[in-house]
């Protein structure tokens, strides 16, 4: 582990984790987000020159996740919601929101999913109708991290009916615009998540990201860099679970022996460690491919997210199994990780979608 990663883990353990613990479950934790900015953790993800390093993003997410899944989620959502503006926004828009988000002074959200359109992005229905020099947006987004409390949203809306993925456009919607509302949702893990409801919200032309009808490219450009980092976050959570399991089985005794002396226990952890290291290597390969501009970024990003998130679920489950009932008590590290890790196999493209991306690339080679 590098000196930088060691320092990030220290910050996550000593500063971020206590703030995450003190936050209200299911609500945006602004002190935590401000701390991410104050300690300059968001700057490498949101550089004003637009050159985000996927490797740096992965290193930060893994290091934070080992110490606090809640802090890692806050970090990820801040980057995901702002990154499209960094890559595709007009200079004035980027100067305003990217700077504020990187400093932890403004809360970002990435609003893609709808009640009837999750993995099938081409079926998005939230409508954007031209009006004067801008657009009027009407519809509902659901399961949006940081909604309805974010300060700004990257919203993907339909600008051309019947055009599938080719008829979507990305907009920046500011939270104080007339007609913006929403409500919080309660999920298995108590993260800030909810609906975003737009009732004829007028958005100026300068808040369009990229080209009109080019929103799918904006979304994919963002997901290609963030999908490996989802894997990195998963690896960090799994590492925390594995560390806890190794420590517990090295101390706990049963039938007159420590648990680590039972092959049925120690070999489970050996398998978990091997799978985890393989997942970490694949995440690193996908991140390097992105940074180097390789042709197979979509495939490797999908592979990294798929393997790392599925592996993390297995590792956390194994850690719980060797702990026994103690790990199922509310508030136990592994109980929290079990709930936190489950969403990673769904958001930013479910595992089934990652397999579809990989399969298509195999047959198009």
The 10s digit of each residue's pLDDT in 242-264 is 999 999 999 998 899 999 999 99
Looking at the structure, do residues 226 and 309 belong to the same domain, yes or no? yes
Say what the pTM is.
0.93
Q: What is residue 52's predicted lDDT score, i.e. its pLDDT?
A: 85
38 is catalytic: no
Q: What is residue 136's predicted lDDT score, i.e. its pLDDT?
A: 97
Q: Which of 189, 213, 237 finishes a domain?
A: 213
* Average pLDDT over every residue of 237-244: 97
* Average pLDDT over every residue of 67-92: 94
Return the CATH number at 343: 1.20.140.10
Return the CATH number at 177: 2.40.110.10
Which residue do the tokens 């509302």 mark? 181
Looking at the structure, do residues 360 and 222 belong to the same domain, yes or no? yes
Looking at the structure, do residues 223 and 355 belong to the same domain, yes or no? yes
**50 vs 241 pLDDT, higher one:** 241
Token digits of residue 339 = 């709930």
Looking at the structure, do residues 222 and 359 belong to the same domain, yes or no? yes
- pLDDT at 365 > cutoff 70: no
Catalytic residue among 62, 70, 197, 348: 348
Closest CA to 97 of 87, 72, 341: 87
Q: Which of 63, 87, 107 finishes a domain?
A: 107
Question: ∠230-274-57 over CA atoms, to 5°?
Answer: 25
- pLDDT at 147 > cutoff 70: yes
The per-residue DSSP string of 90-119 comes to -HHHHHHHHHHHHTTSS-EEEE--BTTBSS
Looking at the structure, do residues 103 and 149 belong to the same domain, yes or no? no
Structural domain containing residue 198: 109-213
What tens digit of pLDDT does each residue of 20-50 get? 999 999 999 999 999 999 999 999 889 877 7
What tens digit of pLDDT does each residue of 278-321 get? 999 999 999 999 999 998 899 999 999 999 999 999 999 999 99
Looking at the structure, do residues 67 and 114 belong to the same domain, yes or no? no
Looking at the structure, do residues 99 and 117 belong to the same domain, yes or no? no
Return the CATH number at 76: 1.10.540.10
């Amino acid at each position: 582990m590098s000196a930088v990663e060691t320092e990030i883990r220290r910050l996550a353990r000593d500063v971020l984790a206590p703030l995450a613990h003190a936050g209200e479950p299911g609500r945006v934790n602004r002190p935590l987000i401000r701390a991410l900015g104050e300690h300059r953790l968001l700057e490498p993800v949101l550089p004003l020159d637009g050159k985000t390093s996927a490797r740096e993003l992965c290193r930060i997410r893994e290091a934070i996740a080992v110490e606090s899944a809640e802090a890692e989620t806050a970090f990820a959502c801040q980057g995901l919601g702002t990154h499209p503006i960094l890559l595709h926004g007009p200079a004035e828009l980027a100067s305003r929101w990217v700077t504020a988000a990187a400093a932890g002074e403004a809360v970002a959200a990435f609003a893609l999913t709808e009640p009837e359109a999750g993995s099938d992005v081409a079926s998005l229905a939230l409508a954007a109708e031209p009006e004067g020099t801008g657009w009027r947006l009407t519809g509902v987004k659901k399961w949006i991290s940081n909604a309805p409390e974010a300060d700004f949203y990257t919203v993907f809306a339909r600008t051309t009916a019947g055009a599938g993925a080719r008829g979507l456009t990305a907009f920046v919607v500011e939270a104080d615009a007339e007609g913006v509302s929403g409500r919080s949702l309660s999920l298995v893990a108590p993260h800030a998540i909810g609906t975003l409801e737009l009732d004829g919200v007028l958005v100026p032309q300068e808040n369009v990201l990229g080209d009109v009808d080019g929103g799918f490219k904006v979304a994919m450009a963002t997901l290609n860099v963030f999908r490996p980092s989802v894997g990195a976050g998963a690896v960090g959570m799994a590492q925390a679970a594995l560390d806890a399991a190794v420590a517990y089985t090295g101390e706990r005794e049963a039938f007159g022996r420590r648990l680590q002396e039972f092959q049925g226990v120690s070999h489970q952890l050996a398998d978990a460690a091997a799978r985890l290291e393989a997942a970490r290597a694949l995440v690193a390969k996908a991140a390097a491919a992105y940074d180097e501009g390789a042709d197979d970024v979509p495939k490797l990003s999908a592979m990294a997210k798929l393997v790392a998130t599925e592996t993390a679920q297995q590792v956390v489950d194994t850690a719980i199994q060797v702990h026994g009932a103690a790990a199922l008590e509310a508030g136990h590290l592994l109980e929290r990780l079990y709930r936190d890790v489950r969403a990673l196999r769904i958001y930013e493209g479910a595992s089934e979608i990652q397999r579809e991306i990989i399969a298509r690339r195999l047959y198009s080679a």
